[in-house]
Amino acid sequence: MSFCCKTKEEIVISFLEELAIIYNIERFKVYDYDDFLNIVKKEHKNRELEDKNILYKIVNKVDFLSVFNREDIIKKVADIIFRV
C-alpha cells in the first residue's frame, strides 16, 4: 500500500482493500463504496468480538513486536476508525 501521490479517497479505498485481504472478503466482486465499507466494517467488528478475551488483551498490550507487524498495525488503525 503506497500513499505517495494519492488522494484521500484513494488512500481510504486502499486501506479498506488491505483490510478486505486480511479478512478474506471476496476479491473479485464489484462493490459500491458504501457496501464495501459496511462489509469491511462488519467483518472487522466480528473479528474483534472473536478476539475479545482477557488473555488476548493482555498479550496484545505487551506484544511490542507487533508494532512492526503490518497486519496488526492495519487492524489497530481500523479499530480507531471503526471505534470498536
Q: pLDDT for 21-73, tens place per residue? A: 998 999 888 989 889 989 998 988 887 766 666 556 655 665 555 556 677 77
- The segment with the largest mean pLDDT, out of 11-15, 57-61, 74-78, 79-83, is 11-15
What angle is formed at CA 35 by the lines to CA 34 and CA 38, rounded to 5 degrees?
A: 85
Residue 59, pLDDT score: 58
- pTM strictly above 0.85: no
Q: pLDDT for 24-36, tens place per residue? A: 999 888 989 889 9
Q: Exposed, middle or buried: residue 17 (CB in 10 Å: 0-12, 13-18, 19+)?
A: middle
